[in-house]
A and B are shown apart, each in its own frame.
Chain A
Amino acid sequence: MDGIGKLFSGMRAAASGLAAERIRIDVIARNIANAETTRTPEGGPYVRQVVSFEPLLERAADGRAQAAGVRVASVEPDRSTPMERVFDPQHPDADAHGFVLLPNVNTTQEMADLITAMRAYEANLSVQESFVRMAERALRLVQ
């Protein structure tokens, strides 16, 4: 970023971290909330959603790519983790053979991921506060 934005590139990187982790937290919350959903509006059980991150790059004035934090590359259904197949003929969503397809959500794993994401969120917040403090210290030099 050019112009006055140069002063804030560190804060922008932290902001990108906040935004990305926030999306991840929301997705995890949705997974946990839908861990038992056997019937979605689209039909079929809820499929676990996965967030994928990638480094965020900005183009500097000289054309070079500069690291500027992180971005969410995609929010996609997790097709690699198999759905859970449980025998429960009484279940309203049981198939002809009496099996129910449950979401491929492992609540324990989701909770662990949630903690990781929240710690990351807090850390990015600390980074922003750090930049503000440094700027304030620098500007106090003028007094």
Chain B
Amino acid sequence: MIDRVGQGGGLARAAIEAALKAQADAALEIREQVARALTSPAQEGRAAPSFPRSLESVLGSGLRAADAGVASVERLPVAMVQGEVQAFHEIAARLKQAELTFKFALEVRNKLIDAYRETMRMSV
């Protein structure tokens, strides 16, 4: 994708990468906030998980998270039938978790697409 932007446009390439990195950083910040909020206070002493900073790995992990979210929703009826779900609030929590994970991945994707479009508007 980045290679098609312009031949020998080293400056443009740097600008694109910088813009994408800024958007990716913002997305990662949101993700870390989500991760912090979702863990209980007793776990504060733990070191924050280190996320990969490259574009592909952010996109990749976001897609994997979205995939995992959708998969866990699909697996829920089987889990229920097999007696793995003990209570209704557990169902709600699992569904909400999957929904938020998916929405977050969607946001990351949208932000990155916005960043790409933004940089496409720059004259090369």
Contacts and interface: CB of A to CB of B under 8 A. Distances in A.
B91 A4 contact: no
A5 B89 contact: no
A5 to B, nearest CB: 7
A139 B88 contact: yes
Nearest to B86: A6
A135 interface: yes
Contacts of A6: 83, 85-86
A140 B92 CA distance: 8
Interface residues of B, number: 15
Contacts of B89: 138, 141
B69 to A, nearest CB: 14
Nearest to B92: A141
A61 B86 CA distance: 13
Given A6-B86, A7-B86, A139 B91 contact: yes
Interface in B58-115: 80-83, 85-89, 91-93, 95-96, 99
A142 B56 CA distance: 31
Contacts of B93: 141
Contacts of A61: 83
